[in-house]
A and B are shown apart, each in its own frame.
Chain A
Amino acid sequence: MNRLQTDWSVPQRQAPAALFILLYKTVLRILKIFWPFLLFYFFKNQTNEFDRFEFIIIALSVISLLGSVVEFIYFRFFISQNDLIIKSGFFTKKTINLPLDKIQGVHIEQTWLHSLFNVARVSFDSAGSEKVEVKIDAINKAEAEDFKRFILHARPEAGMAVAAPEPEKPIVHLNSKDLFKLSISANHLEAFLLMLAFFLSAIDQLKDIFNLEYNRFVNWVYGFNNSPAAALLAGAIAALMVSVVISTVRVIFRYFDFRISTSAKGFLIHSGLINIQEKLVPFNKIQYISWKANWIRERMRLYLLHFHAIGSQEINDKLRVKVPVTRDNMIPVLLEHYHPLLPKETITPLRIHPAYIIRKILVTGLLPVALLAIPGFYFFQWAAFWLAGWLILISISSILFQRKFRLWTDERALQIRRGFLGMEELILRWDKIQSVSLQQSIYQEGKELATVNLFTAGGTVSIPYIRLNDAREIVNYAMYKVSSSLHVQQNLPGFTHLTAIE
């Protein structure tokens, strides 16, 4: 299979379709910036005057469109001396040199526009600290596959020769039954709120522009006033139905034809109905792995597994793949290249101290409620009593969190189970830790408790409110494991700012 139609050492242009894609992107960008003006001009009384504003908008648009044409014409990529080289720009020329052996992942992506022209976007991620995104907007789909194979298997020592690709081993493939299960169990509340937010903001924007008469709609809604129970029921059923439809559509768009296979370098993940994505998550970039389920999914033993990979925010977004786990035996397979599940039966778990509950209720429940109660009562009178709902919510969630939290450790890894309504479980190898901190508030000091934060290059794992002695033991052990482990294998980026979990 060493067939190579393209000589990659010759500078290549993108596929002609790239021009359309670049223009399309520019048009979208222009519309995004100027849409209020455009809408205003569209509905304004038509006059033949050509004012200064219109001129500026048209001039800016033409300049940016020309910019995309220039970007297309001057874009070249090729491979020279084991480097991937991308040249672009006319006024400011830019050359990116990316050593092939530094490339850790090649991602092929197709949006609906790409599928239309049978092209794909190829992007690369490297072990270095480059913040620039290295990507080729559109090349022929088959060429993209060929290029990917070439890059991933080109061996520096053998010149430009391509090594026989390692066979890919399929491990997960979702069928329609899995998709159905995922849709049914999706977070319908989230889908509903998403829809509501979209609907409200759309109405709000349109109302201003069109001065919409939506009183009739409001009246129709209030018409139910005569029979509140019927209104509530009708509303709930309608909301549920719409939410289920939305969740199903979202699940199908995201997880259609979802499959994972392993190659020598990492997990190859393919998914999507219209926006097709093919990603490679290198094994050595995985810092820790978590999987979680909402309340319904926990009952159905259905999880979303998340590889927390190293890298800058951009790279991490690209690698952020949630893998639906629809069968129990899938988790061990997906953990195989990281660390197997800990034998929980043989390890005594560590738990959070009950003081966590009181503290959490005081700080996140009682304090804000107390602060808001006076102005709340002033403005809304007795309706301010709804604030008590927040207090109840916080109380229940902290109690459940404290009861569910478990930490198991062994000499190579630690495993945490947590959550309040649903559950989340994560596994972290000691040697993936970058630094640790041991924290004690005045309150914790009095009770001999502490919170341990384990920082990894893929996010922070926090162990709150454990006994001080246990916390110290964890910190000391982590430092022992990290210091006796090898030095960081890769040339890691020194400035990652990732969202910490919880």
Chain B
Amino acid sequence: MEFSNPAIDLALLPKAEEITLKPVERSYLNVLRLEWLITAIVVLVVGGLLVFFIKRLHQPFIIGLAAGVWLLITIFSYWVMNRSFKRKAYAIRDKDVLYQTGWIVRRLQICPFNRIQHCSVHSGPLERQFGLAALSLFTAGSEGSDMKIPGLTEESAASIREFIMQKIRTDEQVTN
């Protein structure tokens, strides 16, 4: 077999940073807010029960401190959630999928089609209320390698999955 290995001009390589990412659905913020609310309430109830049943905790200082920490974390997480929501965006290129998230730590992940093992669409009860779904892409890579894009409409999640499966199939490869 003839082996060729032409030099590559790095400047001509497609640049991931030049792609305009598409933000996830606006209504996903409602899902996040509801999740945030539920978590805050659950923590409050559990904490309240602990204080109620454990006599030794019946001290104004401890109750005040716990309530303060709870309030601080709850407000902070709401703020971070809103900020990081604005960063949640994705793009689909000819050969890979990009997903960006995070505010304190911004993370852009790229997953090439020819490394995807399988993909799935998932929607939880809250997401279903808003007609949303999450698309998960699984690779053979180590932890952190798999990609999950939340906040897609059910239709677009399904069509992206179909598109990816099509890509994998035309690459004429792994099937189970």
Distance to closest chain B CB from A444 (angstroms) = 8
Q: Contact between A495 and B16 (Cβ–Cβ < 8 Å)?
A: no
Choice from B96, B114, B141 contacting A487 with Cβ under 8 Å: B114
> Which residues between 5 and 23 of chain B lie within 8 Å of chain A, taking CB atoms?
5, 8, 10, 13-17
Q: Contact between B14 and A480 (Cβ–Cβ < 8 Å)?
A: yes
> Which residues between 118 and 138 of chain B lie within 8 Å of chain A, taking CB atoms?
118, 138
Q: A494-B117, A496-B140 are in contact. Are A487 and B106 (CB under 8 A)?
A: no
Q: Contact between B139 and A435 (Cβ–Cβ < 8 Å)?
A: yes
A485 within 8 A of B: yes
Q: Contact between B142 and A498 (Cβ–Cβ < 8 Å)?
A: yes
Q: With A and B bound together, what is the CA distance between A488 and B171 in angstroms? A: 10
Chain A interface residue bracket vs B: 35 or more
Q: With A and B bound together, what is the CA distance between A434 and B97 in angstroms? A: 12
Choice from A460, A472, A483 contacting B144 with Cβ under 8 Å: A460
Q: Contact between A435 and B143 (Cβ–Cβ < 8 Å)?
A: no
> Which residues between 470 and 502 of chain A lie within 8 Å of chain B, taking CB atoms?
472-473, 475-477, 479-480, 482-483, 485-488, 491-500
Chain B interface residue bracket vs A: 35 or more
B91 within 8 A of A: no
Query: Which residues of the partner chain B approach A439 to less than 8 Å between Cβ atoms?
Result: 102, 105-108
Q: With A and B bound together, what is the CA distance between A439 and B144 in angstroms? A: 12
Q: Contact between B118 and A456 (Cβ–Cβ < 8 Å)?
A: no
Interface mask (A448-472 → B, CB under 8 Å = 1, otherwise 0): 0000010111111000000000001
B40 within 8 A of A: no
Q: Contact between B95 and A483 (Cβ–Cβ < 8 Å)?
A: yes
User: Taking CB as reference atom, which chain A residue is nearest B106?
Assistant: A440
Q: With A and B bound together, what is the CA distance between A495 and B137 in angstroms? A: 11
Distance to closest chain B CB from A106 (angstroms) = 22
B111 within 8 A of A: yes
Q: Contact between A435 and B147 (Cβ–Cβ < 8 Å)?
A: yes
Interface mask (B57-82 → A, CB under 8 Å = 1, otherwise 0): 00000000000000000000000000
Choice from A473, A479, A495, A500 contacting B110 with Cβ under 8 Å: A479
A120 within 8 A of B: no
Query: Which residues of the partner chain B approach A483 to less than 8 Å between Cβ atoms?
Result: 95-96, 112-114
Query: Which residues of the partner chain A approach B145 to less than 8 Å between Cβ atoms?
Result: 434-435, 455, 460
Q: A441-B104, A473-B10, A488-B173 are in contact. Are A479 and B142 (CB under 8 A)?
A: no
Choice from A437, A491, A500 contacting B107 with Cβ under 8 Å: A437
Q: With A and B bound together, what is the CA distance between A475 and B98 in angstroms? A: 12
Q: With A and B bound together, what is the CA distance between A433 and B112 in angstroms? A: 10
Q: A472-B16, A488-B174 are in contact. Are A460 and B142 (CB under 8 A)?
A: yes
A438 within 8 A of B: yes
Q: A435-B115, A435-B147 are in contact. Are A456 and B141 (CB under 8 A)?
A: yes
Q: Contact between A434 and B174 (Cβ–Cβ < 8 Å)?
A: no
Distance to closest chain B CB from A232 (angstroms) = 44
Which are the 5 A-B pairs with shortest beta-carbon distances? A434-B141, A455-B145, A455-B141, A494-B117, A492-B140
A interface residue numbers (CB < 8 A to B):
310, 411, 433-442, 445, 453, 455-460, 472-473, 475-477, 479-480, 482-483, 485-488, 491-500
B interface residue numbers (CB < 8 A to A):
5, 8, 10, 13-17, 95-96, 102-115, 117-118, 138-147, 171-174, 176
New A-B contacts (11) at CB < 8 Å, excluding given A437-B109, A440-B105, A442-B104: A435-B141, A436-B110, A438-B16, A438-B107, A453-B144, A460-B142, A476-B14, A476-B15, A479-B14, A487-B114, A487-B172
